[in-house]
Structure 1
Amino acid sequence: MDNRNSPLSPELWLNDLFASKAVQQGGVIRRKARDVERFAGMDVFLREVRRRGFRAALNGGQVVVFCNREPVRWLE
């Protein structure tokens, strides 16, 4: 983990991310995987996703988090 370019600690960055309106409404959030690594670290991030009962997917350098406890069905 390397968050030298951020004024936020990993904990503050995660708190800010998971306080967003999309999360509160059970929606979806998306972040660049490189930003997740830089600001929090992927292991710490995924631990928080699991703690909340959410699901996350990685595709094309983007991390997509489904901010609810519903199952994810891949359609294609």
Structure 2
Amino acid sequence: MTRIPDHLRPEDWIRTIFSARAAAEGGVIRRKTRDIERIVGRDRFAHELARRGFSAIENGGQTVIFCNREPVRFWSLPEPEAQIPSMEFAKPVDGF
């Protein structure tokens, strides 16, 4: 496992993350939430997502970054009546 150096500047980390092949191709990137918090902070990270029109979701200490402007659809939610603004929800298709 690669350890992220303590002296990494937030600007360098952001540039590295968003210049990855997956980001350039509109794919998905996953990072540890604690690294995001430690290196750039939640506010700065949220600003960078908004500036690019990207979305992210957090679960189990991981943050998944969707490097495109497509809607994010959840296949299931813990509480069916939960409302998340500006998100679309897809219903599972029979057979899946």
Q: TM-score, normalised by structure 2?
A: 0.71
Task: For 1:33-48, list aligned pairs within 5 A.
Answer: 33-48=33-48
Give how far 1:38 is off. Answer: 1.0
Q: Distance in 1 between matches of 2:17 and 2:7?
A: 14
Structure (1 or 2) with the larger CA radius of gyration: 2
SS of 2:17's partner is helix
- Aligned partner of 2:82 in structure 1 is none
Percent identity between the aligned chains? 54
Q: Describe the SS at the equivalent of 2:73.
A: coil
Structure 2 residue aligned with 1:57: 57
Q: Which has the higher contact order (CA 8 A, sep 6+)?
A: 1
Helix, strand or coil: the match of 1:68? coil
Residue correspondences, number: 72
Alpha-carbon distance in 2 for matches of 1:62, 1:46: 15
| Within-5 A mapping of 1:7-46 | 7-46=7-46
RMSD across aligned C-alpha pairs, in angstroms? 1.0
**When you count helix as a share of all residues, which structure comes out higher?**
1
3-state SS in 1 of match to 2:16: helix
The runs of at least 4 consecutive aligned structure 1 residues that moved more than 3 Å come to none
